[in-house]
Structure 1
Amino acid sequence: MLWLSEILLQEHEMDSFDQLCEKIQERAAQGEMFFRMDVKPPFQDTPVDWEDRLEAAFAQANRR
């Protein structure tokens, strides 16, 4: 299971929401089956619909 907090801790060089989406897609493509959002991303450009967008990024990578 992939946790959002794990990504944020392990990939601390990220500085934008778009970079976070890319990392989630990379992890999903590596075979992660489930994704949990246990914290809100700390980026200034985090959109209001951040949960939907992260879920879509995860799901898109799993469809490839």
Structure 2
Amino acid sequence: MLYLSELLMEHHELQTFEELIEIIKQQAGERFFRMDVRPPYPDTPENWEDRLEGAFY
């Protein structure tokens, strides 16, 4: 299972939500994705959960 919090800790170099989307797309081989925290970026949109889920699947 891929946890968003673990991904954020592993990739502390990320500066924007769009960079996070690209990392999520690269991790799409995982079986499950859990969004256990809100991304801390200033450009995180209101529909961030839908966007991350779409990038993963």
**1:39 Cα shift?**
0.2
| Unaligned 5+ runs, structure 1 | 60-64
**1:10 Cα shift?**
0.1
C-alpha distance in 2 between matches for 1:7 and 1:25: 12
- Residue of structure 2 equivalent to 1:19: 19
C-alpha distance in 1 between matches for 2:6 and 2:27: 11
SS of match in other structure, 2:27: helix
**1:43 Cα shift?**
0.0
Q: Could you state the TM-score of these two structures normalised by the residue count of structure 2?
A: 0.97
Which runs of structure 1 show a deviation greater than 6 angstroms over 4 or more consecutive aligned residues? Answer: none
1:46 to 31, 44, 47: 44
CA RMSD of aligned residues (A): 0.5
Structure with bigger gyration radius:
1
Q: Could you state the TM-score of these two structures normalised by the residue count of structure 1?
A: 0.87
2:31 to 27, 30, 33: 33
Q: Aligned pair count? A: 57
C-alpha distance in 1 between matches for 2:31 and 2:5: 16
